[in-house]
Chains A and B, each alone.
Chain A
Amino acid sequence: MITLTHPAAVTYLGLPGYVFAWLIFVSGLSIFSYIIYRRYLLIRSGKPDPRFSDTGKRVLDLIVYGFIQKRQPRYLWAGLIHIMIFWGFVVLGLRSIDLVSQGLSLPFLRPLTQTGFGPFYDTFKDIFELIVLGACLWAILRRALVKHERYEGSHTFEAYFVLCLISFLMITDMFYEGSMLLLNKSQETFLPASRLAALVLSDSSPRLLTGTHIWSYWLHLITFFFFLNFLPLGKHFHIITALPNVFLRKPDKGAIKPAQWGVEDIDELETLGVEKFEDFTWKHILDFYTCTECGRCSDNCPAHITGRPLSPKMLTLKLRDHGYHKVPVFGSADREGAKEDEKDDALPMIGGLISRDEIWSCTTCGACEEECPVFIEYIDKIIDMRRHLIETAQNPKTFNQVLMHFEKTGNPFGKPATKRADWVKELEDTDVRVLKEGDEVDVLYFVDSYGSYDPAAQAIAAAIVKGLNSAGIDFGILGPLEKDSGHQVRRMGEEGLFQLLVEENMETLSSVRFKSIITTDPHALNTLKKDYPGDFEVFHYTQFFQSLVETGQLRPAKSPDTDDIYTYHDPCYLGRHNGIYNEPRQLLGSIPGLKLVEMERSRDRSFCCGGGDIVLWHEIEQEEIRMASMRIQMAKEAGANVIVTACPFCFIHFEDAIKTDGLENDLRVVDLMKLFVSTLA
């Protein structure tokens, strides 16, 4: 048995190894601090964004989504690999710290390792070394053997490189300890990874073993600090920023951020929206740092899938690179920044680097945000960029008239406000109270513009009032007093007009008394709940009628006539943005004899119909297939011949797609409310 000298205690070139360890440590940490400082500078240039409220919830999210990595297994194999590597990092971080501290001759972890925890941990980390090594190999093979479309545009070389680095860290430690096992035979702890290395080294001479032991250590140390400094330069920055980014996630899905946080009155602002990089909030800049380039966002983005020029991942990558150019790691921020500004004249960030059609392609369906394992936000950024386009008149010209109509008549059609309740007149034997100022009612039915004026949506509204009457609910509508909820206007980026509509509606809503509001449209539900300053109880009709069924106030008695097979399409603003997945299904379930199948993409993976705003007034030329066309195919594939929706826009898009695709004999679309009302006795 040979007494082993610690590699740092060995003398090199007449100097003790500790000197070199300190040198590596100090220079590694200094460079790292400097890089982080540069990254911090860029973050600091961002706009305010309050992210520290509700800490309890944030800590919980950090545990669930950060440490347990709940969203990873949505892509099963990649997710499992990631979880293995992530937990390897957590476990092996301690090991690396221990190795570094040994080198610095500051063995502050020794009290811990010399307890019973020491051998236990050694076994544990050894198992994890094998797991991580296996996961890295698997990851490399996975990338090499199968071309995953979602990685297109990602930094593949970096991915391989980092996987190799990680593997190298594992291997160096394995050989460090494996050689020690052979030299120092007193070890009794179960160390599978080190044993494996020892097996490889078993025939080596003591001299070779000593050399392996020493150089494994140094290579591990150098690689460790190299890796640390490499992280903030590429997509593996997420190793550092992901947990903070999860902790700082946006708390309320569906809501749109104000023009600027902390500014109540937009008149105080010089400009609206994002024109320059610094117009993003600091948290949005942190988002850019955090992107892992996994491409799950784009893989689920209906705009991307249908050939529109938007890929959420590429949006992030382009903007991240743009930001890094503005404040590069090396070189002066100001000088470089100025140079970049000159370049900006030729290619502005908005309209150049990020094309206008890219910005208008988004349907705000939220699929990307639902999928992102590290909670990167897209919708707020898109809307902020739209705000800039609107303020600088870079919007599609077709918006001009629509927005003018919203402003002047309170609806997108330019129909007179006085006719807003005219749909009620055409209802036979259905009583609808049109409220006036000072009236009192239990349920206020917010019909919104499409329900009020569009024939297809009017039919849904008619079914709702029929249902309300059947249940004997005391309800009323606002008629000419109601203005468009503004959901579309806000998402088109016309913030000023949205505020105007909110102001007018708030005045109306405070002039009548009611207990709760119900809406035709998930979009109206979303905006009244999330974008309005009022504290209303707002329900979508599916929630409201589901509760009526539950309490026995309404009971569907008739079965659907034929043996149709139904499938339910989750509208984005009902499902993803408001978490209402079960009520509509329960409502369907209450209909006797109704056969329901689920589409592969359902619930939080539902596929957008095309959306309720931009698509109505602006065609994206690059689109190869309409979203609604894709969606109805999915329904067909699920074996359904009836698609049930709970949103007037989904209904309109699907009905149109069924006609244009000539599928009238195979499929039809029905709104849940109309279906439900038709089954009431």
Chain B
Amino acid sequence: MNIVVCVKRVPLTQEVDLEIDGTGKDVKKDALAYVVNDWDNYAIEEAVLLQEKFGGTATAITIGTEDDEEVLRRALAVGADRAIRIDPGDLELDGFVISKLLAGVIKDLEYDLVLTGVQADDDNCGMVGIMLAEHLGLSHAAVVTGVEPEGDEATIKVELEGGMDEVSKIPFPALLSIQTGINEPRYVSIMGIRKAGKKELKVLEVADLNLTEDDLTPRTVVEEVFLPPETEGAEIIEGDASTVAEEIIRILTEKGVMV
């Protein structure tokens, strides 16, 4: 089974107090550390697990600068066979343009399955995967938490809201957007990543992809980004742990949930 997996490099922001940059349209990113998008980690792992089980090749693709090749080397270290980076140059990107760029590359590859993460940690859009499937004319499913190939189709699990999974069958070739928790991504060591540097990594320019002006025009524009207002939200209970505990107990008792 030949698998293509799309990955993105995103900033690590969990512990960071983000600030807005000079343009007002993005956050300051110069001091941020970059990692593989969490959802994509699961997608890479799933691609390699399937490839280990069913044979075939796994190809990792990203869009970005040379720095972004790091996520490809990680994917190669996990077990992908080759990698492709699409260099967007100065192109303005949104979910739509990204899906077009990816489609432009993937359409010429041989594959049975395309995997993406459900969404990216930075823009939280969650649209690239399914748009890409449509451009390629593939059957598709979003928020997938289980894949079991059987011949030329797969039984998949889609995570629904409210603690429910939907089981369905989907024929190959297909695109699945992978949800976290589908597997346990393995650790790849620094040494492993360096060794993976020997595997094939191809770089493509946008011009190589035969895309139209329309394909390369974003359909949405970020007008501004802003931090949530500080004032809204919880009333902070001050004091040492003991005072806090007393106050919590008072609230619980007042609400009648604790005697």
A adjacent to B, CB under 8 Å: yes
Interface residues of B in 26-43 (CB under 8 A from A): 31-35
Q: Is the CB of A267 within 8 A of B194?
A: yes
Do A391 and B191 touch across chains, with their CB atoms under 8 A apart? Answer: yes
Chain A residue with the shortest CB-CB distance to B74: A404
Flag if A409 contacts B187 (CB, 8 Å): no
Q: Are A393 and B191 in contact (CB under 8 A)?
A: no
**Which of A390, A495, A500 has a CB less than 8 Å from the CB of B187?**
A390
Instruction: List residues of chain A with CB within 8 A of the CB of B193.
Output: 496
A494 to B190, CA, bound (A): 8
A contact residues around B32 at 8 Å (CB): 416
| Contacting pair A499 B190 (CB below 8 A) | yes
For the complex, what is the distance from the CA of A399 to the CA of B186, rounded to whole Å?
10
Q: Kindly supply a per-residue 1/0 record for chain A positions 390-412, scoring 1 wherever the CB is within 8 Å of any chain B CB and 0 otherwise.
A: 11010101011001100111000
Complex Cα gap A395–B35 (Å): 20
**Stretch of B11-19, B141-149, B173-181 that contacts chain A:** B11-19
| B95 CB-CB contact with A under 8 Å | no
Minimum CB–CB distance from A535 to chain B (whole Å) comes to 25
Which residue of A390, A404, A413 is within 8 Å of B15 (Cβ)?
Answer: A413
Query: Are B31 and A418 in contact, with the CB atoms below 8 A?
Result: yes
**Would A414 and B14 be within 8 Å (CB), given that A267-B194, A408-B34 are in contact?**
yes
Contacts of A417 in B (CB 8 A): 31, 33
**CA A266 to CA B189, docked complex, whole Å:** 12
Contact of B185 among A400, A407, A408 (CB under 8 A): A400
Q: How far is the CA of A494 from the CA of B16 in the complex (A)?
A: 26
Q: A408-B12, A409-B12, A414-B14 are in contact. Are A496 and B187 (CB under 8 A)?
A: no
* B55 → chain A closest CB, angstroms: 20
The answer on a CB contact under 8 Å between A272 and B35 is no
Q: Is A636's CB within 8 Å of the partner chain B?
A: no
**Cβ contact within 8 Å between A496 and B190:** yes
| B64 located at the interface, meaning its Cβ lies under 8 Å from any Cβ of chain A in the complex | no
Question: B12, B35, B189: which contacts A390 (Cβ < 8 A)?
Answer: B189
A414 contacts B190, CB within 8 Å?
A: no
Query: In this complex, what residue of B is CB-closest to A498?
Result: B190
Once A416-B33, A418-B31 are accepted as A-B contacts, the answer to whether A407 and B190 lie under 8 Å apart by CB is yes
Per-residue CB contact flags for chain A residues 412-447 toward chain B (1 = under 8 Å, else 0) read 011111100000000000000000000000000000
Q: Is A391 touching B192 in the complex (CB atoms < 8 A)? A: yes
Does B232 lie at the interface of the complex (its beta carbon under 8 Å from any beta carbon of A)?
no
Does B188 belong to the interface (CB within 8 Å)? yes
* Nearest chain A CB to B49 CB, angstrom units: 12
The residue in chain A whose Cβ has the minimal distance to the Cβ of B33 is A408
Residues of B in contact, count (CB < 8 Å): 21
Closest to A497 in B: B190
* Residues of B153-194 contacting chain A, CB below 8 A: 184-194
Smallest beta-carbon distance B241→chain A, Å: 11
Main secondary structure on chain B at its contact with chain A? loop
Q: Is B31's CB under 8 angstroms from A408's CB? A: no
B191 engages A416 (CB within 8 Å): no
Of residues 585 to 634 in A, which have CB atoms within 8 Å of B's CB atoms? none
* Min CB–CB distance B189 → chain A (angstroms): 5
**B185–A414 contact, CB under 8 A?**
no
Chain A residues whose C-beta falls within 8 Å of the C-beta of B12 in the assembled complex: 408-409, 414
Which of B33, B189, B195 is most buried by chain A, counting CB atoms within 10 A of its CB? B189
Among residues of B, the one whose C-beta sits closest to the C-beta of A416 is B16
From A267, A393, A409, A499, give the contact of B186 (CB < 8 A): A393
A500-B15 in contact given A400-B185, A409-B33, A416-B31 (Cβ < 8 Å): no
Q: Could you tell me if B187 and A393 are in contact, using CB atoms closer than 8 angstroms?
A: yes
Q: Contacts A408-B33, A418-B31, A496-B194; is A395 near B15 (CB within 8 Å)?
A: no
Given contacts A414-B12, A414-B14, A416-B31, contact A266 B184 (CB under 8 A): no
Contact residues in A for B185 (Cβ distance below 8 Å): 400
With a cutoff of 8 Å between Cβ atoms, the chain A residues found around residue B15 in the complex are 409, 413-416
Interface residues of B in 194-219 (CB under 8 A from A): 194-195
Alpha-carbon distance A415/B14, docked complex (angstroms):
8
- Distance between A480 CB and nearest chain B CB, rounded to angstroms: 9
Neighbouring B residues of A400 by C-beta, 8 Å: 185-187
A-chain residues with CB within 8 Å of residue B16 when the two chains form the complex: 416
Inter-subunit contact B187/A403 (CB<8 Å): yes
A391 touches B14 (CB 8 A): no
Closest Cβ–Cβ distance, residue A124 to chain B (whole Å): 59
From A393, A409, A413, A415, give the contact of B188 (CB < 8 A): A393
Nearest neighbor of B79 in chain A, beta-carbon distance = A393
Given contact pairs A408-B12, A408-B33, A272 touches B187 in the complex (Cβ within 8 A): no
Residue contact B191 to A397, C-beta cutoff 8 Å: no
Considering only CB atoms, which chain A residue lies closest to B186 in the complex?
A393
Partner of A494, one of B34, B35, B189, B194: B189
Residues in chain A near residue B192, CB distance under 8 A: 391, 496
| Contacting residues, chain B, for A409 (C-beta < 8 A) | 12, 15, 33
Q: Which of A373-400 contact B (CB under 8 A)?
A: 390-391, 393, 395, 397, 399-400
B33 surroundings in chain A (CB, below 8 A): 408-409, 416-417
Most buried by B among A404, A413, A499: A404
For the complex, what is the distance from the CA of A531 to the CA of B45, rounded to whole Å? 34
Q: Is the CB of A496 within 8 A of B189?
A: yes
The answer to whether residues A272 and B186 also contact, given A408-B35, A415-B15 and a CB cut-off of 8 A, is: no
- Residues of B near A494 (CB, < 8 A) are 189-190
Are the CB atoms of A495 and B31 closer together than 8 Å?
Answer: no
Q: How near does chain B come to A660, taking the closest CB pair, in angstroms?
A: 16
Docked-complex contact B35 and A404, CB < 8 angstroms: yes
Are the CB atoms of A399 and B187 closer together than 8 Å? yes
Task: Kindly state the separation between the CA atoms of A558 and B256 in the bound complex, as whole angstroms.
Answer: 52
Is A495 a contact of B191 with CB atoms below 8 Å? yes
CB distance from A415 to the nearest CB of B (A): 5
A391 vs B187: C-alpha distance in the bound complex, in angstroms?
Answer: 8
Q: Which of B109-137 contact A (CB under 8 A)?
A: none
Note all chain A residues with C-beta closer than 8 A to B14.
Answer: 414
Known contacts being A404-B35, A408-B33, A409-B33, is A395 close to B187, with CB within 8 Å? yes
Q: How far is the CA of A403 from the CA of B32 in the complex (A)?
A: 17
Closest A residue to B193 by beta carbon equals: A496
Measured CB to CB, the closest approach of chain A to B225, in angstroms, equals 19
Shortest Cβ distance from B35 into A: residue: A408
In whole angstroms, what is the CA distance A391 to B185 when docked? Answer: 14
Q: How far is the CA of A407 from the CA of B194 in the complex (A)?
A: 14
Report Cα–Cα, A399/B191, bound state, in Å: 16
Q: How far is the CB of A35 from chain B (nearest CB, A)?
A: 39
How many angstroms between the C-alpha atoms of A395 and B184 in the bound complex?
Answer: 12
CB of B216, distance to nearest CB on chain A (Å): 32
User: Which residues on A sit within 8 Å (CB–CB) of B188?
Assistant: 393
A497 and B187: CB pair below 8 A? no
**Is the Cβ of B191 less than 8 Å from the Cβ of A266?**
yes
- Find the A residue at minimum CB distance from B78: A393
B31: which A residues are within 8 A, CB to CB?
A: 416-418
Which residues of the other chain, B, contact A418 by a CB distance below 8 angstroms?
31
CB distance from A477 to the nearest CB of B (A): 18
**B75 → chain A closest CB, angstroms:** 14
Complex Cα–Cα for A408 and B14 (A): 13
Q: Smallest CB–CB gap between B106 and chain A, Å?
A: 28
Closest 9 CB pairs of A and B: A496-B190, A393-B186, A496-B191, A408-B33, A497-B190, A415-B15, A400-B187, A418-B31, A416-B16
Chain A interface (Cβ < 8 Å from any Cβ of B): 266-267, 269, 272, 390-391, 393, 395, 397, 399-400, 403-404, 407-409, 413-418, 494-497, 499-500
22 A–B contact pairs at CB < 8 A?
A266-B191, A269-B191, A272-B189, A391-B192, A393-B186, A393-B187, A393-B188, A395-B187, A400-B187, A408-B33, A408-B34, A409-B33, A414-B15, A415-B15, A416-B16, A494-B189, A495-B191, A496-B189, A496-B193, A496-B194, A497-B189, A497-B190
New contact pairs (19) apart from A415-B15, A417-B31, A496-B192, CB-CB < 8 Å? A267-B194, A267-B195, A272-B189, A391-B191, A391-B192, A393-B188, A399-B187, A400-B187, A404-B35, A409-B33, A414-B12, A414-B15, A416-B16, A416-B31, A416-B32, A417-B33, A494-B190, A497-B190, A499-B190
Q: Which residues of B contact A (CB under 8 A)?
A: 12, 14-16, 31-35, 184-195
